[in-house]
Structure 1
Amino acid sequence: MKQQVEVKELKEGKYVIIDDEPCVIKSISKSKPGKHGSAKARIDAIGLFDNQKRSIVSSVSSKTYVPIVERKSAQVLSISGDVAQLMDMGDYSTLELKIPDEYKDRVKEGEDITYITSLGKMRIDLR
C-alpha cells in the first residue's frame, strides 16, 4: 500500500519510496527557485529492508509515493538458527522472519516483539 504526496510535505524520519523500495528519510535539502526553474529538493534516505543508501532530486511541487508502514506485535513461538517463527497478536497468523544480527541476543521464545511490514515485505524491528 502506498499513497501519493507532494515532495514539499516530506520530513526527516518519515518514509518515501525510492526505486520501488520503502526508505526512511535521513536528510532533505531544498534549493531556492531560480530565474527559469522551480525549487528542487534532494532527499537522502536509507532502505527500510536492505539498508542501502538512496537519493533522489525532484522538484518541490512534484508528487512522489510514500509507503504505508505498519508496526505490529507478535509472539515468538520458536527459534531455529537465525529464523524465528512468530504468531501475529492481531489476527493470530503465523509467519517466519529472519532475526537480524543486532537482535539475536534479545529475541527469546515466548516473548513479545514488534515487526514492521510494508509493500509485502516484513522485518523484525525492536526499539
Structure 2
Amino acid sequence: MKSTDKPGELGTILGKGAVVDGNIKVEHSLRVDGKVVGDVTSGDTLIVGAEGEIKGNVKVKNLVLGGRINGSVLSPGRTVLEARSELRGELKTGKLVIDEGAIFDGKCSMSDAKAETGRTPGEADGETIIK
C-alpha cells in the first residue's frame, strides 16, 4: 500500500491481484484494483478500478466505480458508475452519474446521507484507521 500526506490525493492503493479478506478503513482516498471481501470505509474518495471488486458494504465520501461492488453503498457526495461497472445492492448518495453500459441492480436513495447517519462516512466508530 502507498500513503501520501497531501489531502485530496490518492492515499492508499490495493493493487491488481491483491486480495483482502477483512474490513478496510482509511481516512484518505483509496484505490482498489484487487479484491476485497469485507467492508470498506474511507473519509474521502474510493476508486474501484476496472478489475477491482468489493464484496461488502461501502461507506465513503465519494465513489468512482469502474469494477464491481456487491453490497450496500453510502456515498453522501457523488457516485459515478463508469461504463462496464456493476453495482448490486442499495445505494444512498447525494449525486449520481451513470455512464452508458454500467449495470445497477438495486435500490437508490438520493438525499443528504450525512443527515441519515448523523456522521460523515469514515468518522471514527472504534475501528482501526490506517493513516
Relative to the length of structure 2, the TM-score reads 0.21
Q: Rg larger in 1 or in 2?
A: 1
**Larger relative CO (CA 8 A, sep 6+): 1 or 2?**
1
